Structures are given as structure tokens and as C-alpha cells.
Amino acid sequence: APREMECAFVLPRVRSLGRQAARGGGAGFQPSDAMSRYLAYSEPGATQFDAGKVLNERPRRRLPVFLVGVEAEFRTYLRKGFYKGGSAVCCGGRFAAGQLWPNSISTITMTLAPGFCYFEYILPQVLPPPGDLQGSFLGVSQSILGVVILISFTLASFVNPGIVPRSEGIPKEMSPNYLDMQNKPLPRFLRINGITVKQKFCMTCNIFRPPRSKHCSFCDNCVLRFDHHCTWLGNCVGLHNYRYFVCLIYSATLFLIECIYVTFCIFDQRTAASYGPQADFLDWITVVSQDATLVGFLMYCIFLVVAVLLLSVYHSVISLQNLTTNEHVKNYYKENPFDFGMMSNCTQIYCHPERVVAEGPDNVKADYDIHPSYSEDGSYDEFEGR
């Protein structure tokens, strides 16, 4: 009973974060908190476009969520007994795991096992005697990239991607005029950077989805700045772990390219040792065919490098446009309200993820009437969800 009573008070306080953000402060509230700034766009009581609230104070940079944790109100919701989503949440909301088995565990196994064999048996064959990793640039670079991959994979897989707290029911601030025949809130419209986009109400979380958010059917959470749900990580990629995901695919691309280079060097060395400097291509093929294990490792690396290289190029392109995978694949925007130029876009995504918009103040404007700048081809029409 005490938990139920506490939860009943917690969720209204979470909704009040947006109101405090719009006022620029409040007791115990820091306007620099990234998650709360997003909620300022999700207040239940719609305002007219010409009477919107302006948040002039830019959010200050915030340490990573896995170090400092989420805001107090979010932390309360993410405690055991209050959290209603499908992820496993721990450490005050710092970490969240979606599907540990088989997704995360399988990926870890398929990564660590070949990686161990590579560092133990394959890479030493091309290093200066006695195969010391610290004795050459190749050994040092591979070691560094291996550590970066392990750290970025761990953070991308287990850091809270940006879970939005739920409300117990439809907000009381909702006017009956804006409910449909089933008493469900109608979608409304946000004006961001002069462009109007549709904002839908999540019937599972009982909130207006913050900008760029989506309800993930796998993890059963609304996630801030939702990019995609990664099956290999077993977690959503969102506001708090997108940078680690990008670091993972970039470092994995470089690592795998070096792995392929090392494998070809081994075949070249063996060919030269067996047939001398006059060896031709057929001699090289003969040597290759004699080590099925190394050939299998080479094919494994080629398959992976194609996948992560394509991902790296793709995420480089959408980062320059300030788009998420979800927005790009579903073609949300006829005009992207979050696009402020390539430099500003990348600065926001990788250096200032706490910002909702890359430049200027946050103009929080919402209305239930369609504005002339809205296009049916525009954003949020395709928001799926519950």
C-alpha cells in the first residue's frame, strides 16, 4: 500500500517537470537536465502557437547518465516496484537491458570467442618475435580498438537509452474537447523551428510523446530521441546511448579492416615461405586452401566489416542531416525542423545531446488546430504505437 501511494504521487511530479522546465526552474529542479527539457514539449495542456513558452536558457552539458544517473523523479519511477516497462533496470536508472537472452548473450559470445582466438593465435603470427602486442603499431592499434569496442558495446547495450516515465492514466489537464469518441486524447501539433509536426498520445504510457520519441514494442518503453531497437544489442538506441553505438560501429569497422589485413599478411608469408619470391596467384590459392580455419575467420571478418561499414556510412549521413534511423526510414519530415546545418547537427548529437534543438532557444508551442505549415507528408503521422 505505501508503494502504491508513493507511485501515485511520483507520476504527477514527473509530469510537472515539463511545467518547471517551461518556467525555467523550480524547487530542486535543474534546467540543464536533458530528459526534463524534452518533457517540456509534452505538457498535456495545449497552448496556442502565438502564446507558446520560450526557454531561453540553454541546457548545460551534462555528464553521461551512467555516471551521474537520471534526474530524481525519473529515478523514482525506474525503481523496482514502480517501473512498468519491459526492460531490466538497475542502479537508479543508469542501466537498462532489453533482451539479455538470446540477443545480448549471443552477440557477446559471437564477439568474444573469435576475438580471443584472433589475439591468441592469429595476430601474433605477423608481429615481431615473440609476438608481443606492444612491439608494433599493428599490435598496439588492435589492442586499443579491442578495448574501445568492448567498452562501447557494454555502454550501448546496457546504458538507459532514455526511458520516459509513464503516467497512471490520461492527464486530468486534458480538456474533454480534445478527446475522441473512446475518450482517447486526439493528436496535437508542435511548432518546432517554424515547422509544424504532429505529436501523438501514447496510450500505453499515457503521455504525449516528447519530440523524436517512440514507443518501442520490444522493450515496452517510450524512448527519448529513439533511433532504433538493435537486436544485436538487445536494447533500444536512443538519447543516452546513441554516441556509444556510433563509436562501436566506427571502431569495429577499423578493427575488422585490420583483421582482414592481418589475415592476408599471414597467407602472403606462408606463400613466400613455401614457394619463394616467384610464387604466383595459384600458389597463393594453394596455401589459402590448406587452412580452412583461417579462411573461415577471414569470411567471418568480411561479412562483419561489410555490415558495420554500411552502418557507419549510413549513420554518418543521417547525423549530418540530424535524423534518427526511425525518422529517416519512415520519411517523417518534408522539412526537417531539427536540421541546422552539418556542423551544428553533429555538434548537437555528439557533444550536446541534452539539447532538443541544435541552435537557439526552445520555443514550446502546441495546438490542436492544424497550422498552415503542416503537411500530411510530414513527421509523426507514421508514429506506431500503442
**Interatomic CA distance for residues 284 and 297, integer angstroms:** 17
- Could you report the per-residue pLDDT of 161-189, keeping only the tens digit for each? 999 999 888 887 777 878 888 888 888 88
**Residue environment code for 324-356, b if the CB has 16+ CB neighbours within 10 A, otherwise e:** bbbbbebebbeebbbbbeeebbeebbeebbbbb
CB 22 within 8 A of CB 53: yes
Q: How confident is the model at residue 94 (pLDDT cuts 50, 70, 90)?
A: very high
pLDDT value of position 322? 97
- 230 catalytic, yes or no? yes
Q: Between 371 and 352, whose confidence is greater?
A: 352
For residues 35, 320, 260, 262, the Cα torsion angle rounded to the nearest 10 degrees is -80
Which residues neighbour 307 within 8 Å (Cβ) at sequence distance 6 or greater?
none
Q: What average pLDDT does the chain have? A: 85
Do residues 179 and 171 lie in contact, with contact meaning Cβ atoms separated by under 8 Å? no
Question: Which ranges of 70-214 would DSSP assign to H, the alpha helix?
Answer: 72-77, 105-117, 137-158
pLDDT digits (tens, 9 = 90+) for 237-260: 999 999 999 999 999 999 999 999
Give pLDDT, residue 371: 64
Residues 6 and 51: their CA atoms lie apart, in Å, by 35
**Closest-CA residue to 127 (of 116, 135, 119):** 135
What is the per-residue pLDDT across 300-340, written as a single tens digit (0 to 9) for each? 999 999 999 999 999 999 999 999 999 999 998 889 999 99
- Would you say the pTM of this structure is higher than 0.75? yes
| Active-site residue, from 202, 205, 222, 230 | 230
Confidence band, pLDDT 50/70/90 cuts, at residue 43:
confident
pLDDT of amino acid 210: 93
Give the model's pLDDT for residue 323. Answer: 97
pLDDT single digits (tens) 52-88: 677 777 777 778 999 988 887 788 889 888 899 999 9
Phi, psi (degrees; rounded to nearest 5) at 327: -70, -40
| Mean pLDDT computed over 267-272 | 95
